[in-house]
Amino acid sequence: MTADDPVRDSLERFIGKPMGEGAVAPEEVNLPMIRHWVDALDDRNPIYLDEAVAAETRMGGVVAPPAMLQTWTMPSPVIAGIAERGGAPTAMKSENVVTALDAAGYVGTLATNSELEFERYLRVGDRLKTTSALESISPRKRTGLGLGYFVTWITTYWAGEDEIVGRQLFRIFKFDPSTMGGAA
Distance CA 110, CA 172 (A): 5
DSSP 4: T
Distance CA 75, CA 78 (A): 9
Q: Which of the stretches 11-19, 41-49, 97-105, 122-130 binds another protein when contact is defined by CB under 8 A?
A: 41-49
Nearer residue to another protein within complex by CB, 12 or 115: 115
| Residue 126 contacts residue 159 (beta carbons within 8 Å) | yes
Q: DSSP of 71-135, one letter per residue?
A: GGGPPPP--TTTTTTTT-SS---S--HHHHHHHTT--EEEEEEEEEEESS---TT--EEEEEEEE
Interface of this chain with another protein, residues 54 to 113, rule: CB under 8 A: 54, 56-59, 65-68, 70-71, 74, 77, 79, 82-83, 87, 89, 111-113
Distance CA 174, CA 149 (A): 5
Q: Which of the stretches 11-19, 36-44, 131-139, 148-156 binds another protein when contact is defined by CB under 8 A?
A: 36-44
Nearer residue to another protein within complex by CB, 50 or 142: 50
Helix (H, G, I), strand (E, B) or coil at 67: helix
Residue 10 Cβ vs another protein, minimum distance, rounded to whole Å:
27
Q: Which of 21, 39, 51, 95 binds another protein (CB under 8 A)?
A: 39
Residue 107 Cβ vs another protein, minimum distance, rounded to whole Å:
11
| Residue 72 contacts residue 29 (beta carbons within 8 Å) | yes
Residue 9 Cβ vs another protein, minimum distance, rounded to whole Å:
28
Q: Which residues contact 40 (CB under 8 A, 6 or more apart)?
A: none
Q: Which of the stretches 14-22, 47-55, 94-102, 153-161 binds another protein when contact is defined by CB under 8 A?
A: 47-55
Q: Which of 29, 47, 151, 159 binds another protein (CB under 8 A)?
A: 47
**Which positions lie near another protein, rule CB under 8 A?**
33, 36-37, 39-43, 45-47, 53-54, 56-59, 65-68, 70-71, 74, 77, 79, 82-83, 87, 89, 111-118, 121, 169, 177
